[in-house]
Structure 1
Amino acid sequence: MTKLATFHPPELAVGYDDIVRAADAIRGAVIPTRFEQSRTLGALLNAEIWLKFENLQFTASYKERGALNKLLSLSPAERQNGVIAMSAGNHAQGVAYHAHRLGIPATIIMPAWTPTIKVENTRSHGANVILEGQSLEEAYGFAVGYGAERGMTFVHPYNDPAIIAGQGTVALEMLAAAPDLDVLIVPIGGGGLISGMAIAAKAINPNIKVVGVEAQLYPSMLNAVKKSHLPVGGDTLAEGIAVTAPGSLTQQIIETLVDDILLVSEVDIERAVSLLITIEKTVVEGAGAAGLAALIGANRLYKGKKIGLVLCGGNIDTRLLASVLTRELARDGRLSRLAIDIPDRPGQLARVSGIIGKAGANVVEVYHQRVFTDVPAKGTELNLVIETRDRRHLEQVVAELKAGGYVVIVKSTGAGTP
């Protein structure tokens, strides 16, 4: 592997040498996560796909790398005064965990709406957690003021050279294992991860393409780099990259080194989360699945390429994960809701169930609707949720029910399905 050790464009705040030093600094305290080819995903998407499992870090996120590198750069006086950070998730846990390891007092400011599980996980690493602000911006403003009053060092989640250098170590490990990658596809929130990875990757292989991914609802870096004015905001599964204001340092690096930025839909993010747990048996949060989501949405652009994806985090609420998986079953036609008009007399439910069972499907849920329906008074609307092998099997079951004399309406085959 060719290394351009002097690669450090004068206009950038971080160079390749900084990333190499960061790798040396964090070695032994951060897991060098596995980087493996996924033949199944590759066959599905017509490309050679390699996955970097950063969701397997101790705190389930790559954020540990930058946080630790920043903490190790502090002077003895700064360590004694402690650090403060603002985050609703992965950065908080990374800072809290490594600060506790190093004996550095840590205070984490989290927005008031932060899920309890994330608050408790952060506290479990020994940090003092303060819930403040109804938005990330409010929490950030409070953290800066609170820390300044007490002489604490603020550990920014992305707009800091030491953070960027630490995140860049992900690319060092990927290209050490697979130096001939054609493309790196990297999620963008504030831009710390892709900035560090782009510096490292372009130093090692100037011909490699580095492509960023943002949620369609949060195209903040795309707007900043391409001077566009797409709307920013909304509820996204990829809350880890739902950033409204990208960093000034990261924007400069991205403008210089990143080849393209793609936007991904919520449906494709959900599908990517589901594919990773189904095929790779690995739990990934929405932001961590954004790279795969980009391949799903823009597969034609990367056909036949050797691609490195970063599964950057695995902190997803279990109830939300269950919802995502169930919705994907519905999209695939494996879980569907039917409305069937039946006479309101004994034996009809058994007859319908018999037809469905004979067709090889399974009834998951059943209830009758007698009041809020257009069915005549002597009839009822039978609502069923059934499990089938795929969409073709669903169509076969519906055909069998219709052949049995029933009026059948497929009410739902999955959120987001046309």
Structure 2
Amino acid sequence: MNKIYNPQPENWSEILKRPTQTFTDVEETVKQIFKEVEQKGDIAISKYTSFFDGVSLDEILVSENEIENAKNQVSNELKNAIQLAKSNIEQFHSAQKTNKIEIETTEGVSCWQEKRPIQKVGLYIPGGTAPLFSTVLMLAIPAKIAGCKEIILCSPPDKNGNINPAILYTANLCGVNKIYKVGGIQAIAGMTYGTETIPQVFKIFGPGNQFVTIAKQYASQNGVAIDMPAGPSELLVYADESAVPSFVASDLLSQAEHGKDSQVILVTTSKNILDDVEEEIYKQLKKLPRQEIAQVAINNSKLIFVDNEVTALDLINEYAPEHFIVCSKNEAFFIDGIENAGSVFIGNFTPESAGDYASGTNHTLPTNGYSKSYSGVNLDSFLKSMTFQKISEKGIQNIGNAIELMAEAEGLQAHKNAVALRLNQLSK
């Protein structure tokens, strides 16, 4: 790993760069596939599923029989683990419900806000070497709690035309309405425009590779909302002498094994911790099944030493990590001071893996510095806030003159007239 000692603030942006790739070629591919899906629907979906996934399918909608077979392929132990995670995620997201907010701003002027579910949502679940059935929990559960009427899911098929049974089992358990064997750019395009088989949705959720990421961003230019801009996974750990080096190393590696373009960073005020963590990383790395993937990510990652906690916190807020672990004697300083992070994990016994699976918080989080301006997925991600107002005769008399003056000052006479006619009626 790259060791960096006391970097100067003017160099932080360069040091903290993500290992991002150029998307110019990807964008052209995305636009081409979107255009074909818009024009040809299922024919285009079938074409690109064959091209990218290497399988030709007669039917992309997962059948009830396939779901039943998937249930039998998932072990009882895994089912129990999924049920535990489901319960915790449901509890945490149900607690995020808010009541109607109502106020009389002026006598006779009542204003209130209510939240209503997004009617149709699409969930994208990556398959491949790491079938993320945990992401099904993180997206389908809050969608169901929010009251979304139509919840569809797309996930790429394997070479035999199947979706991982754990994904199917979890989707069915969490109330997903329909599941489609479609992945990549074509899945996002299908949910954006709708095809003969895939319904059009109003908002798309879920992680993915660089192709999916760009496809989602392109979808957002075509009338469909997305959860957030999301790219390769990342983790930053702050650790002082109170941290357990083997724990810290395991956390860094847990994110590094996600993909070769993942990034992990250690920030510390202890040179001993820096050296001990590095030693532990290479010791543990040798035993990982995904060693090759993790090794590339580790090569892109950093071990950063700074002199004091204030500098450490400033640097962390500048990086704005997706995941932030704090192992410090002075944890309150970091908890109170962190401004930019997707999700925060506190103490030696709070691994980032807990948030990925079963603690209850959501693991769909902003990456690439977007935690400076975006929240992770939560219950509100599946809801819209709508405002209402009702004005009585007394109310329009109380605010009418102000509206007339403001409308006239903006040169909008019809706006003024809409009030003036009412006031004239009341004055008769």
Normalized against structure 1, the TM-score is what? 0.25
Which fold has the larger relative contact order, with Cα–Cα distance below 8 Å and residues 6 or more apart in sequence?
2
**TM-score normalized by the length of structure 2:** 0.24
